[in-house]
Amino acid sequence: MEKGLSFLQNIQEMFPGKAVDVRTYSPLTLAYIGDAVYDLIIRTVVVGKANRPANDLHRITVKYVSATAQAKIVDCLMEEFTEEELSVYRRGKNAKPHTMAKNASPAEYLHATGFEAVLGYLYLTEQTDRALELVRLGMQKAGLSL
């Protein structure tokens, strides 16, 4: 592991794979990694607020990582997206997922999938500052505070 490399670069160095143009990934692949990125952001914030039992941390986190919460966040972010982010969002929202969320409407789930696709795209293109900015801004605009 080399100092000065990003988290993503360190992962890629320690676990080499084939180089792929991120723009060729399917929107559901971007959403898959974006879901993990969003989850890591929220979990990091929740843990940073207080050292609590894992059950309490999970209970708090679930309120923010639900498809309903993500749909609310992305609806508040639409005017903030760049053209590129908006294109990724639309691809993600219009993808045909093989599953649906248990506790969200199909529309909320598709909006959340689009949001996760944007976060996955930003992570894989090493624009993590932008991903963090969008999550923070979206939560503020949606009235969701941690």
In a domain, 102, yes or no: yes
User: What is the separation, in whole angstroms, between the first and last Cα of the chain?
Assistant: 33
Percent of the residues in the chain that have a pLDDT greater than 90, as a whole number: 80
Query: What is the arithmetic mean of pLDDT over 85-98?
Result: 92
Question: For residues 107 and 71, is the Cβ–Cβ distance under 8 A?
Answer: yes
In a domain, 93, yes or no: yes
Does residue 32 have a pLDDT over 90?
A: yes
State which amino acid sits at residue 124. Answer: L
Structure tokens at 122: 């930003």
Does residue 133 have a pLDDT over 80?
A: yes
What is the pLDDT at residue 137? 97
List CB contacts of 13: < 8 A, sequence separation 6 or more: 1, 2, 5
In a domain, 113, yes or no: yes
Query: What is the span of the domain harbouring residue 58?
Result: 26-142
Does residue 131 have a pLDDT over 80?
A: yes
In a domain, 15, yes or no: no
Question: Which of 27, 21, 41, 36 lies closest to 117 in space, CA to CA?
Answer: 27
Is 39 among the residues known to form the active site?
no
In a domain, 90, yes or no: yes
How far is Cα 54 from Cα 90, in angstroms, rounded to an integer?
35
In a domain, 132, yes or no: yes
Active-site choice (21, 35, 56, 129): 35
Structural domain count of the chain: 1
In a domain, 9, yes or no: no
Does residue 100 have a pLDDT over 70?
A: no
Does residue 6 have a pLDDT over 80?
A: yes
- pLDDT tens digits along 52-91: 999 999 999 999 999 999 999 999 999 999 999 999 999 9
Instruction: Judge if pTM exceeds 0.85.
Output: yes
In a domain, 118, yes or no: yes
* CATH code for position 135: 1.10.1520.10
In the chain, what's the furthest Cα-to-Cα distance?
44
Average pLDDT, the chain: 93
